[in-house]
A and B are shown apart, each in its own frame.
Chain A
């Protein structure tokens, strides 16, 4: 007797899921990006490259491109040096309190750099910066000692917040590296200096490069620091010029075109950097990790041990503690510019922005609810899409992968611009100036985070686990519900917080999309500062810092519990 196996239906669950995922990604991610290219290269219904060249050769745009390049290169060089040095110091020397230092060097990742820039402006602006004034008072100087409104100043501040990209990669590589690779060089007769030069550095070079390319990618598309420290003296980079164009010319055709051309340049550059980074990672990563290990030989710092410790503490003090303290202190001043004495300080500002002022209360509410909803939607959409990518055998899932990871190389200002083009009435839906347009942009921006976390979790779930459930009599859906979902729950949770926390402090996207009542925390801090409300701006920044640090520690606790359970 033959058993009749029913043919696979043309539209099964797989196809429906696939279609749904493609739809989400196309609408949210692909359309806005395509619209940017379309607007940049299509003039009056015809393809036009000459006009693109014309826009790019205008002094303003040309200068912005050059500035982005100068700033990004500068930050990449300094960030790479700082990151590599500290990574080496905490992994390969006998520096005291290495573990603590390692944690502290990662703190800048947590802090929004535009808040840092704000603090440095308060400390080092040429006229009113507290440090400059102190120097002028103490030494009787006529002019300021430091000027933060310069290329050097911007590079310095960005370096403080971006060097962890290199630090993490290099410290990881140095820790995992098989120590016998260095020991065999030692027994071959090489001294420590030669080993470092000929063995260690070449072996971790891929990690150094990959980290510095991340710095470059981030710095190229970075809005906050340049907006706070550069605009005032006319230093624009690509994202700040896009912002300026969109904001000041109230959506005129010429300014939108300039914006899209700049955005296209940014996308292409970012894509190139991403491609380069992938190449470095896939081709250059040596297999230097080994199982059985004695700890690597530590360089004895001897006489330099204490001076280097002091140096690290000073670095952390100056780059983390000082700006943070400044934010809180300025936030408590009765008027900006007063000296920090007890009679000049008050908690009134904090109370005012938390409970009384509509603008800041709206901002906090907007950021929290936007972050929450965006994280929730992106988390669920991410699970579905990752499931299709990782587990299902459907044709064309490569497109999904590409679409989902696209936002990684599409900077925030580009996404914002694309969303404006797509959702301000051109296609029948106008949500411009509402909170919804920010939500759509957040989903597009953070989809890649969710896909990464969820794919990683799903790859851990071996196919045989599902097959065992099916063999035990479970249907496809029961297997998903009872086996897959419980196993990927940590990944989903990770995705949620990977989105919620950055969204809380987001500036680049929302600054291009906010309307009168839809300021986010980042936008409120930024605009208050622009309007000269420095004290309120600092107080709000202080509250943002508390929320962020609190959020980070809750997650750490949560993940510890989840891992133990």
Chain B
């Protein structure tokens, strides 16, 4: 059964459509990350789920219950949605102690004192904050503050956790640590999580499914492996991981690049053959050098990045990025050789 369902959710700011007919359903216990460049509408979507923004079209349900609907003109206010939310800038209250921050939502719900005490204690222990419960959150590091926010969201035992770039304000060092903590907590409590981020590795590490957005429109929804291995379009390919693109002509079963024609590494889709041209896309580490055959190229630059060696290779007028491990010494700078694309993907030129 779907825990949250978004049907044709649309939001406009003036003439700009920030979110355009977005459909998504999240299962109980599933973590879905919304990934995209800033301004793509991912945060707006999250805020619509939270109830901070109205919808201009569509509806949002939790289980069988509608919580936002344009048609029914119904919006459950955020305070009645029973969601836990964690914000990028922590949003812990500096005038309250760590304990009082976490106890706040429980006190608002007018729970009995003993239960407030017990549940706050539990949430603080799960987030390793019990020892600083009486201190001010202002004395904690960024990671500590975000743990307070996390504990506060956990304390109400929410149906759904909404996380709005929760790790972006943290030092890179803390980010990975917090990532594991969030994942652990989710496994333990089996929450449904909607997670907004612009960091692809964060999205890949944490989520069961990723939704990639661009300019308010969903580009692809799928497991991390699907998103990385079979990007739906050129944008997704480029946004996730490193990428190299080659603009090629397709004629008579051959691909033309830099004035020469070769056998294509894999058969292009027939509609692209009909169009006469396509983007050839490949991950830099899935491109191999060869001394015989392959697309003719010269090595423009070669740089050692430590574990990998990074090449800028010139094919005709364009530059392509190739990466090899340090154990695989390729050609030298200025050397001419051939390129073989191991697992290429084809995208239409208008992408």
Contact = CB atoms under 8 A, between A and B. Distances in A.
Contacts of A186: 52, 77-79
17 contacts: A183-B50, A183-B52, A183-B91, A186-B77, A187-B51, A187-B81, A187-B83, A188-B152, A188-B156, A189-B79, A189-B82, A202-B93, A203-B94, A286-B95, A287-B94, A287-B138, A294-B52
A498 B87 CA distance: 42
Interface in B53-98: 77-85, 87-89, 91-95
Contact of A194 (B80, B108, B149): B108
Interface residues of A, number: 26
Contacts of A49: none
B44 to A, nearest CB: 9
A490 B208 CA distance: 56
B91 A178 contact: yes
A199 B152 CA distance: 15
A150 interface: no
A181 B91 contact: yes
B105 interface: yes
A189 B47 contact: no
A185 B78 CA distance: 10
A188 B152 CA distance: 8
A184 B84 CA distance: 9
Contacts of A290: 89
Contacts of A475: none
Interface residues of B, number: 30
Contacts of B88: 180, 292
Which 4 A-B residue pairings sit nearest by Cβ, starting from the closest?
Answer: A188-B105, A286-B94, A180-B91, A290-B89
Contacts of B93: 181, 185, 199, 202-203
A411 B256 CA distance: 85
Nearest to A182: B91
Given A180-B87, A181-B91, A187-B79, 7 more contacts: A180-B91, A183-B50, A186-B78, A188-B156, A190-B79, A290-B89, A294-B47
Among A189, A190, A194: residue with most chain B CB under 10 A: A189
Contacts of B94: 203, 286-288
Contacts of A137: none
B104 interface: yes
B109 interface: yes
Contacts of A199: 93
B47, B87, B91, B108 pick with most chain A CB within 10 angstroms: B91
A81 B88 CA distance: 34
Nearest to B110: A189
A183 B78 contact: yes
Given A189-B108, A297-B52, A184 B95 contact: no
A291 interface: yes
A178 B89 contact: yes
Nearest to B152: A188
